[in-house]
Structure formats: structure tokens, C-alpha cells
Structure 1
Amino acid sequence: MGGIIAQAMAVALQRRGRQVGLLALLDAYPADAWRAESEPDQAAIYRALLVIAGHDPAQHPDLALERTPVIDLLRRGGTPLGRLPEAALDGVVRVVEGNNRLVRGHHHARFEGRLVHLRAAHDHAGRALAPSMWAPYATTLEVIDVPALHGEMMGARATAVIAPALLQRMAG
């Protein structure tokens, strides 16, 4: 969701005559990647909640993708999501559902500039997700492979790759 919003904001800023210094997306893919998917069931929503919390659902094959077992895992793991009160967690689940609908209904305009895609190089096996999906929506596309899973993109190892790459591009 964040990458889709960032690309749309860059386009909106350009339409208002503003200059965009850097458009960098952390392992985000355009709305086209999700458009054909059906409305998510509860299992998909709780799988997404795990990913948002930084868990790889594949590492928990016996976990029932239902509210109680997923929330219990989040609470035991000490994640920020796991520390939220029940009402706030209900809100997060509603936002995940709503964002899914918004993403599938979004249509991108073209960004006139360079889009830097920081790809989680250890993720998305068997899925038709590729940074090249952004090519129609930017003048140029640069891809930087980050040796991480999607859920690890804000971790220390990934940040050690991402931060210098972004600093270099912002300086140049």
C-alpha cells in the first residue's frame, strides 16, 4: 500500500508543478499486481496481518489463520501490533480489508522521473511479482536487490543496504 501511495503522491506533486527529488519504493508493487485477485477471505487477512507484523507465514505452517491464534502469536512475539488493545486490533483488520479493496481499484498515472525499487530479493518465490511491473508508470526504473524477505525490509541487515543506497541517490 505504501508504495502505491508514494507513486501516486509523486504524480500528484508533479501535476502541481512540484519537483520530486527521489521516488523510492520498498518492495512495493503496483495495483495491477493485485487487481485480478478476489476479495480476501479471513485467512488472507490474518496472513497479511502476520506479514505486517514482520512474520513470514510460511514459518508457521500449523498456525490456523484465524483471529485468536494469530493474535496470540502476535502477543507472544512482543510485536507492536500484539500490544494493541482489542478494539485497535479490530480497526487494523478493517483497514487491511479496506486497503485491499482500494488497491485493487487504483489505476496509476505515469511518474515523469526515476523510480528506485528496493526489492526484497529473498521473497516472492513462485509469485508473478517483479519490479518491472512499475516500468509503465515511470520514465526510468532502477532496481536495487536487498538480501531480505519483505517483512525484514526495515531490519538492521536490510537497512545497512538501503540507507547508503538512498543517501547516494539523494546526494546525486
Structure 2
Amino acid sequence: GASPATGGSMLEVLLPLRPTGSRPPLFCVHPAGGISWPYIGLARYLADHPLYGLQARGLAGPEELPATLEEMVADYLEQIRAAQPAGPYHLLGWSFGGVVAHALAAELQRAGEQVALLALLDAYPLGAESSQEAAPLSERDVLTLLLDAAGLSEEGPLDEELDRDRVMDLLRRKRTIPAELLEERALAAVIDVSNNNVRLLRGFTPGRFDGDLLLFTAAQPAPDSPPDDHPTPRAWQPYVDGMITIHAIASTHHHMMRPEALAQLGPILAAALEETGRRRPTQGS
């Protein structure tokens, strides 16, 4: 298939998944692994909205990783404003990216901008993140993550003596994953980025967002998680002044961009974007 990015690298910080459209863009913040190209799956549900992914620094080439979540937020704000200089803004984040999206929303408001939509995919503040998310990632975890993203994980969890070359071969043949991401250097970077992001989350307290929150929860527990491990949406209440609307999606945390989950959440997200468009007085006729 064609690569969604036009020119440039698939590992850049601002990834134009679909740069065209007459409506306001939706900015999607990466999960802990730092990559945002799985969000391309949203494109078919969001007519006429440009779609951008924010990706972690350190993937495209060696560079210093952010020391704090605030530093990451300031960086991503610059990226967002380069693509869309003024609001209203529409933000989405999955997992770790949800905490960043919420922080971006609060920061944009502090700068006097309007945030019309804040949508989170199974994201929770403050160490409320399930414990599995907080464990440092190994290479095996990253390969599992890539197999997942490529839709190849139906065969069940990877065995301990995972043959990396076999996995890479599988991924190259499937061609749903940007080739650059399958290079040795990029894989190592995903591990560093993930572990850094988990560390950033531990040291961060969210601010307050004065608006509504659209929260999609993963209704199916991860195969290996203890039954009571899942944080509750109530964890967001101290950090959101508006209404929290919750939609349970029949999916596990890691499969929120799979076709089955997208079929559930895509239309709800599209309707929410429509709604924000209707609430605003439009310029011109």
C-alpha cells in the first residue's frame, strides 16, 4: 500500500497521515511506544478532516529524549501550531498519549486557545495506568507490539525464544509497517522511548482541562492482567471540569486501532467531530 506520509520520513515528530481536508485537523498523540501511524485507521471514518500523528523524538534519528512530560508537551504544541496556527483544536490520545493530549488541551487553553474536542482511548492519569503499562518494555514486547499493529497477533502471545528474524520477515511481507521502523536502530529506539515515556508518566501530575472529555474504554481485559487491574474513568474527574462521556469498546487496550475496535469507535468519534462543528458559529455562509 501507499505510505500515508507525503515525502519525509514516517518517523518524523509530526506525521501527516492525511494532510488534506476542508475541516479542522485531528491531532493524535502516540501511545508509550512513540509511533502514531496506526492512527491511519481512523481516516476512513473521519471524512474531510486532515489527520496528523505526533510521534516521539528519537525515532527518526538519535536525539535527546524529553526529560519531563511538560517538555514533551511544549515540543508538541509547537508542532501542532505549525500545522494549525489557531484554534479551535481537536485532540486525541491513546494510552500514554491520552495523558499527553489532556495536558496539551490544558496548555492550549492557558494560551487562550479553544479546544473543541478532547478524545481519549483507554487512557488514565497518574499511575492509574495499569501496571502492565508501567513495566519497562523488552525487545520481545516491542516485537509483539509491532505484530499487533500489523494485525498478526492472532497466533497468540509470542513464545520466549522468539526468533526476531522470523518476526521481521513476517512484518516485511505483510507490509503494513513502515520499512524504516523495522531497522535495527529504530527498534532499539522504540524500546528507549517506551521506557522513557513510562518514567515521564510517573513524575507527572495533570492540570485541569475546562471542557468535556470523550473517553473510550477498553472493555476487554488484557489476557495476562489481573481482573481488578483496570483503572476506572473516575480517575479523570479531578482533572476535567466538563462532562466525561464514556463509551466502552469491545477490545483490549492494545487493540484499539484494530478494524473491529475502529468499527465501534470510528463512527462515535466522527459524530463528536460533527457536533463540535455544529456548535460553533461558522465563518462565511
Does residue 156 of the first structure (1) align with residue 259 of the second (2)?
yes
Amino acid at match of 1:156: P
Q: Tell me what 1:131 maps to.
A: 233
Backbone CA RMSD of aligned residues: 3.1
Partner Cα distance (2:234, 2:163) in 1:
33
Q: Tell me what 2:159 maps to.
A: 63
Kindly state the Cα deviation for residue 63 of structure 1 after the two structures are TM-superposed. Answer: 2.0
SS at match of 1:17: coil
Gaps of 5+ in 2: 1-95, 276-285
Kindly state the Cα deviation for residue 54 of structure 1 after the two structures are TM-superposed. Answer: 2.2
Task: Pick which of 80-89 and 13-22 moved more.
Answer: 80-89
Does residue 27 of the first structure (1) align with residue 138 of the second (2)?
no
Kindly state the Cα deviation for residue 70 of structure 1 after the two structures are TM-superposed. Answer: 7.0
Partner Cα distance (2:166, 2:215) in 1:
31
Q: In the alignment, which of 75, 79, 82 is matched to residue 168 of structure 2? A: 75
Does residue 15 of the first structure (1) align with residue 118 of the second (2)?
no
Q: Deviations over 1:15-38 (max 9, x none)?
A: 01111111000111213314999x
Does residue 146 of the first structure (1) align with residue 249 of the second (2)?
yes
Highest RCO, 1 vs 2 (Cα 8 Å, sep ≥ 6):
1
After TM superposition, the score normalised by the length of structure 2 is 0.50
Partner Cα distance (1:159, 1:12) in 2:
28
Larger-gyration structure (1/2): 2
Does residue 4 of the first structure (1) align with residue 99 of the second (2)?
yes
Cα gap change, 1:36/1:69 in structure 2, threshold over 3 Å: closer, same or farther? closer
SS at match of 1:3: helix
SS at match of 2:214: strand
Aligned residue pairs, count: 166
Q: Tell me what 1:47 maps to.
A: 141
The answer on whether the counterparts of 2:126 and 2:204 sit within 8 Å (CA) in structure 1 is yes
Kindly state the Cα deviation for residue 52 of structure 1 after the two structures are TM-superposed. Answer: 6.0
Give percent identity, aligned residues only: 32
Cα gap change, 1:42/1:168 in structure 2, threshold over 3 Å: closer, same or farther? closer
User: Higher helix proportion, which one?
Assistant: 1
The answer on whether the counterparts of 1:120 and 1:149 sit within 8 Å (CA) in structure 2 is yes
Q: In the alignment, which of 153, 167, 171 is matched to residue 270 of structure 2? A: 167
Partner Cα distance (2:187, 2:111) in 1:
37
The answer on whether the counterparts of 2:137 and 2:191 sit within 8 Å (CA) in structure 1 is no
Kindly state the Cα deviation for residue 50 of structure 1 after the two structures are TM-superposed. Answer: 2.6
Q: Tell me what 2:185 maps to.
A: 87
Cα gap change, 1:53/1:11 in structure 2, threshold over 3 Å: closer, same or farther? farther
Kindly state the Cα deviation for residue 147 of structure 1 after the two structures are TM-superposed. Answer: 1.1
